[in-house]
Amino acid sequence: MMKKFNFILLIQVALFLSCSHTPERTAADLYQTAQQYFEQNNLNAAKQVIDSIHTTFHNDVEVRKLARELMFKIQQKEEKRNVAYYDSMLLIKEPILAEYSKQFILSKDSEYFDYKLYTHRSQTISYMPHTNILCEVKDNGELTLVSVFLGRKLDHTSFRITAKDIFAETFEVPLSSEYNYHFDDMGSRWEYVTFTPEYQNNVAGFIAQYADQALKVTLKSQESSYNYFLEKRDKQAIKEAVDFSILTKEVYILKQNQKKSSEKLIWLSEKLNQQ
């Protein structure tokens, strides 16, 4: 119903503007109409009329100045509305995120980065390195999977997750990439391949979706492959990390938008004070 009303309103504005170019209509008339729309909170309609003033009446400097000031007021009202929305959403989502956060620990490696990095408790406390898949979540919500392999030389560059008759497979991380790290230690081969979102091909989501099933992991290299089954605690860790990353990203975006709107409100206030 609201969309229909807005559509009808825009048609009315378009019809009004099509008649505004007649000699009888002046810039002052249009400005008064824009002011009325503004007071009625029809901000899009008001902006269209203001655009028409600037397009049609190039030489009416005084009215255009008033129109520009009104546009600042419109933007101010829009940003105040945006900030109120972001505040209300953060009041809902931040407590939920705080609850999710109890399952994650701030990584010690965070001190080396310009962002915070979180790992699941089950993969940090009393955790012995072994062949498996680790998950990490940045403070912007970006989730990373790390494929860990301990054994013979494999040089794996991707992996496949199979649940019964369906599977998901990552893209390849070349051996030459900084994200494909490997070394030998006392006769054992260690391989750490990091899959950032652009290399995951939604494998993390696949694991989360089928975490209640047996999931076979196939590490793939140019020459061979290696199979194992993902442990229950790692499946659960990845599932919770996916949920945590989604919520973290939502909160991060809300805060970024909140900051932008707040900064724009300061700028608009300064502009209006200069008028």
Cβ atoms of residues 191 and 149 within 8 Å: yes
Element (H, E) at 269: helix 232-274
Give the per-residue pLDDT at 107.
Answer: 84
Q: Which residues of the chain have pLDDT under 70?
A: 1-24, 109-110, 125-126
pLDDT at 113: 78
Q: Count of domains in the chain? A: 2
CB atoms within 10 A of CB 122: 16
- The answer on 212 and 113 residing in a single domain is yes
220 shares a domain with 187: yes
pLDDT of residue 151: 94
Within a domain: 201: yes
Contact 115, 80 (CB under 8 A): no
Shared-domain flag, residues 129 and 196: yes
Who contacts 185 (Cβ-Cβ below 8 Å, separation ≥6)?
none
Rounded Cα distance, 136 and 194, in Å:
10
Structural domain containing residue 121: 104-255
Mean pLDDT of the chain: 91
Q: Do 174 and 86 belong to one domain? A: no
The answer to whether position 8 is within a domain reads yes
Its pTM stands at 0.83
Both 239 and 109 in a single domain? yes
Amino acid at 233: R
Does any domain span residue 267? no
Residue 273 lies in a domain: no
126 and 31 housed in the same domain: no
| Same-domain status, 118 and 76 | no
Is residue 51 located within the same domain as residue 14? yes
* pLDDT at residue 242, as a whole number: 98
Tokens of 176: 């030459």
In a domain, 265, yes or no: no
- 124 shares its domain with 231: yes
Q: Quick one: pLDDT at residue 129?
A: 81
Let me know the angle formed at the C-alpha of 245 by 244 and 250, rounded to the nearest 5 degrees. 100
Beta carbons within 8 Å of 268's beta carbon, 6+ residues apart: 72, 75, 76, 79
| Cα–Cα dist 182/187, whole Å | 13
Would you say residue 272 lies in a domain? no
Instruction: Please tell me whether residues 83 and 130 are part of one structural domain.
Output: no
Q: Is residue 221 part of a domain?
A: yes
One domain for residues 129 and 42: no
Instruction: Compute the radius of gyration of the chain from its Cα atoms.
Output: 28
Instruction: Examine residue 275 and state whether it is found in any structural domain, yes or no.
Output: no
State residue 114's pLDDT score: 84
Classify 212 in phi/psi space as left (phi over 0), alpha (psi -120 to 50) or beta: alpha
Domain boundary among 67, 99, 131: 99
**Contacts (Cβ under 8 Å, ≥6 apart) of 48:** 10, 13, 14, 17
Query: pLDDT digits over 212-224, tens only?
Result: 999 999 999 999 9
pLDDT of residue 274: 86
158 with 225, same domain: the answer is yes
Q: What is the pLDDT of residue 110?
A: 67
